[in-house]
Chains A and B, each alone.
Chain A
Amino acid sequence: MGLMHMKNPANSRKKPSKGGLFFFLAGLIPSLIIGWVIYPMVLYSKQAQPINFSHSIHMNPEIVDGIEGDTEIEKCLYCHEFREDGTFAGIPKLAKCTECHDDPDSALGESEEEKKFLSKYVANEKEIPWYSYYRQPDCVYFSHIAHVKMGEINCKTCHGDHGKTDKLPVYQANRLTGYSINIWGRNIAGYKTNTWDRMKMDDCAECHTLKEKEGNNACFVCHK
């Protein structure tokens, strides 16, 4: 019964002062800016690729002749080939480039980028130290042949338009984990509009479930 006689504490409280709101916002807004804008910028280091490689020039049969293949995917596989044991060769080695760029003294085109490539790498027979945008952590096992050949999934589903680009984006690595930004995605709020926006564990599993390959959601399928 005593409760009925108690004063409602809300009625006795003073009105909040405008100053309180000011200090609240003065704290909140900078925190949001630090959290959503500055921190993501600081979190990722930026590195330029050693040279610019243009997929669009090399995939254009009118400019570059000799990338064999009837379909687009076969042309991609001309450079990004499967080895005899089914493993994926990944980014091609210099030997692939020198099939055409064999003479460091005579360029195939006019561009500065090619001259740099010839003098720095072809002339010295030095491999190009590419940064890999899509490389997963060491504990992850991924099989291209299972997806591309058996699953008939397009490169684009996971790599977007990288195979059509003219300019290579800067490579960004997470300073804490060392993983490329392409793994966790560029959108810090975690929104994903395209299948290739990011490739975290959940994104792999999401597609496996969608394609009714739940059996591939066991730890020892994707991990080693």
Chain B
Amino acid sequence: MEEEHGHGNKYGMVIDLDKCTGCGTCMVACAAENNLSVRPDESDKQHSITWMSLYKISNGKKFPDTEYSYFPRPCMHCNHHTPCVSVCPATATKIDFNTGIVSQIYARCIGCRYCMAACPYHARSFNWWDGYFPKGKGLERYLSPEVSPRMRGVVEKCSFCHHRLMRAKTKAYTENRRELEENEYITACAEACPVQAITFGDLNNPEHKVSKLAKSPYAFRLLERLGTEPKVYYLSTKDWVRKFADNYLPGEFKPVTSPKG
């Protein structure tokens, strides 16, 4: 746990909230890519599972000053004191410091849900039922063999489409390469986003767009002061949006765009 990133990759994501329209394509792409099962009643959001969730926030002002913004929220793949990893009694979830990805091994998970309680981002979901893929509706034909389906009684979460990393490596090996090019490995949500609000890459590589964007003055992370060092960054030029990312006491928040507030 005390290991730190020296060499190796540190995959991460930057989501530009100014570009995000809240269309939800990332959620759909993610669900299709990762064999997310559906519930007979998908409108029951208490029990449906998403790896990528979309939160809607508002500045709370009256017309004509009303503004909305959307927060797409995958797993943050916390780099430091990874809360879920430190509490898991079964070693079912671990962080790999060669990639920075936090893994979840369903076959090992005992379903205690301690990780869900520990996660500050609500990024984890519990399977109350076995996966459900209605027969005859074609859903089972879309199941991907690259992602294990989940069974009743285990916790699941976003994997940064880890199987796409393995796929990209396998492809690179045909060309005798071990190093991946910048966009060879990106997540399904990043690929699907119609406005390209999601950028994915190696935060350890200064040439990659993500590491440049992450250094922007408009970049921030959720609940940054917990010290979990999420590998998902957000960009917003709006102070009121950035203020949503943490619980600030009066006077604590430092605006970037309009220093007067």
Contact = CB atoms under 8 A, between A and B. Distances in A.
Interface of A: 82, 84-87, 137-139, 141, 143, 145-146, 149-150, 215, 218-221, 223-224
Contacts of A87: 170
Query: Secondary structure at chain B's binding surface: helix, strand, loop or mixed?
Result: loop
Interface residues of B, number: 28
A219 B99 CA distance: 12
A145 B96 contact: no
Nearest to A145: B173
Contacts of B101: 220
What are the nearest 10 A-B pairs in CB distance?
A220-B103, A86-B170, A218-B96, A86-B174, A219-B103, A139-B148, A145-B173, A215-B98, A86-B171, A139-B107
The CB with the most chain B CB atoms within 10 A, among A146, A215, A219, is that of A219
A149 B105 CA distance: 28
B166 to A, nearest CB: 6
A218 B91 CA distance: 11
A146 B176 CA distance: 10
A150 B173 contact: yes
Contact of B99 (A137, A139, A145, A220): A220
Given A143-B170, A145-B174, A219-B103, A224 B147 contact: yes
B205 to A, nearest CB: 17
Contacts of A143: 166, 169-170, 173
B159 interface: yes
A150 B163 CA distance: 19
Contacts of A221: 96, 166
Interface in B194-220: none
B92 to A, nearest CB: 8
B4 to A, nearest CB: 15
Given A150-B178, A218-B96, A141 B166 contact: yes
Contacts of B172: 86
A221 B178 CA distance: 15
B106 interface: yes
Given A85-B174, A146-B170, A215-B98, 14 more contacts: A139-B105, A139-B106, A141-B166, A143-B169, A149-B173, A150-B178, A218-B103, A219-B105, A221-B96, A223-B103, A223-B107, A223-B148, A224-B162, A224-B163
